[in-house]
Chain A
Amino acid sequence: DSGVTQTPKHLITATGQRVTLRCSPRSGDLSVYWYQQSLDQGLQFLIQYYNGEERAKGNILERFSAQQFPDLHSELNLSSLELGDSALYFCASSEGGSGTEAFFGQGTRLTVV
């Protein structure tokens, strides 16, 4: 158990819909990272938050957005869903520095039908 909790574990929704994925970081961790893993692609970095502020952006679509709340949990919002958004979405957390380990949750499997 990494200490990072993601909910829900599985999500099935229709094209055009909007969903919210939730991540609770390990206690004390200030940084949260979101990743997408599609069937035919590797782990793609989406976005990082540090203590409530956006820190870095990767290959995140404009239809996707995220935020980190004062209690440090984070949400990833995916809207106008397309079939190609079907993927595993992972959240990771770390204390913040590059010398500190990042631990991953078990992911949310999103299926868009």
Chain B
Amino acid sequence: DAKTTQPTSMDCAEGRAANLPCNHSTISGNEYVYWYRQIHSQGPQYIIHGLKNNETNEMASLIITEDRKSSTLILPHATLRDTAVYYCIVRGANNAGNMLTFGGGTRLMVKP
């Protein structure tokens, strides 16, 4: 699977949009971009995923560049409960399985 690069940490003011970037320049055509978050030792929580098109759900929006080499997760109105480590993962399928490979993620701190 392609590797991803994310900033180690970010701050965001409560009520403002949080924009979390991710670079995945070696992504292959059949690989999906997934976002998960982990709040203090809880199980990772699925947020959103996409292949080529931008996606939106009740939690967030995912913007994928046209060349698919980078993406941005947008939390439109961050709250204190959004403080967590956010993981951007590129996931494909091959004979070796389709597991999610977690990197270091971005530690997002939402401040009052």
Contact across chains for A107 and B43 when beta carbons are under 8 A apart: yes
With an 8 A cutoff between CB atoms, is A18 at the interface?
no
Interface string of A8-50 (1 = CB under 8 A from B): 0000000000000000000000010101010000111100101
* Nearest CB of A to B103, in Å: 7
Contact across chains for A2 and B43 when beta carbons are under 8 A apart: yes
Contact across chains for A101 and B49 when beta carbons are under 8 A apart: yes
- The interface residues of chain B lying within 8 Å CB-to-CB of A106 are 42-43
Q: How far is the CA of A102 from the CA of B100 in the complex (A)?
A: 8
- How many residues belonging to B are interface residues under a CB distance threshold of 8 Å? 26
- How many residues belonging to A are interface residues under a CB distance threshold of 8 Å? 29
B31, B38, B92, B98 pick with most chain A CB within 10 angstroms: B98
Contacting residue for B101 out of A45, A50, A103, A104, CB 8 A: A45
Q: Identify the A interface with B (CB < 8 A).
A: 2, 4, 31, 33, 35, 37, 42-45, 48, 50, 55-56, 58, 88, 90, 92, 96-99, 101-107
